[in-house]
Chain A
Amino acid sequence: MVSPLHILVVGLGAAFFVGLLNHDARRTAFAITLAALAAMTLIAGSWAWAFLFGGATPFTILTAGAPPPFAINLGVAAPEAVLVALVCAVGLLSALTMRDALERFGHRAMAVFLVAVMALVGIILTRDVFNLFVFFELIAIATGGLVLISDDERAVAAGFKYLVASQVVSIAMLIGIIFVYHATASLNLDDMNGGSIGPVDSGPALAFFLLFIALVIELKPFPINGWALDVYQSAHPGFSALFSAGSSTAALWAVDKVIGIGGAPWLPMAAAIGLVTFVGSNLVALSQTDDRRLLGYSSVAQIGLVLTVIGLRDLIGERHLAVGGGILVTHAVAKAGLFWLSGLVASRDLAGWAVLRHRPILIFAFATFVAMLAGLPPFPGFYAKWELVHALAADGRLAFVAAILLGALFEAVYLFRWFGRAIKAPLPEENAAASRITGAVVVATALAGWAIGWTWGAASPYGNVMAATPLLVALAFPLLEWLPARVKNTLAILVLCLGFWVGYPHFDPLQMIFGAIILIGGAVIFIASFTFAQGRRIGFYPSAMLMYAGLTMLIVAPDTFSFFAAWEVLTVGSYFLILRGKESEPHALSYVVFSLGGAFAILAGFALAAQTTAPFALAALKQVAADHAPWVFLLLAVGFMTKTASLGLHIWLPGAHAEAETDVSPMVSGVLLKAGLFGLFMLVMHMGRQSLHGVELTYVMLWIGAGSALIGNVMAAFQEDAKRLLAYSSIGQMGYAVFGIALMNNLGWLMALMFVINHYIYKSSLFLSIGGVAKRTGTREMYRMGGLIKLMPLSFVAVLVSIIAMSGVPPLSGFGGRWIFYNAILDTDARLPMVVIFLSGPIAFLYLFRLIHTIFLGQLKDEHRRVSEAPVWLLVPQMMYVVFLLGFALFPGLALRRVDAFIGGFMPERGLDWEGTTITSAFGHWNPIAIMVVVGVIFVTLFLWLLFLEHRAQMVKQFNIAFAAERPHRPETTHFAWNFFAPYRRAVGVLAEPVFERFWGATTGALHDVAGFVRRLYTGDGQVYALQVVAFVVIVQLIAMGMRP
Chain B
Amino acid sequence: MSKHGRLLLAALAIVVIGGLIIVPMNFNRYGLYILSQWAVMTIAAMGLNLTLGYAGQVSLAQGAFVGIGAYGAAILTTHGWPLIASLGLVIVICFIVGWLLGYPALRVQHHYLAFVTLAFSTLMFLVFRNESWLTNGIYGISNIPRPEILGFPTRKPLPFYYLCLGSLALVTLAMWWLIRSPWGRAFMALRENPIRAQSLGIDTRRYTLMAFAIGSVLGGIAGVLYAPLTQYVDPVPFNLQLSLDLLMMVIVGGSGFMFGPFLGAMIAVLLPEWLRVAEGYYLMLYALAVIALLIYSPTGILGILDRYLGSRRTQAASALRAAAQSKLEAAQ
- Same complex origin of A and B: no
Residues of B within 8 A of A (CB): none
B-contacting residues of A (Cβ < 8 Å)? Answer: none
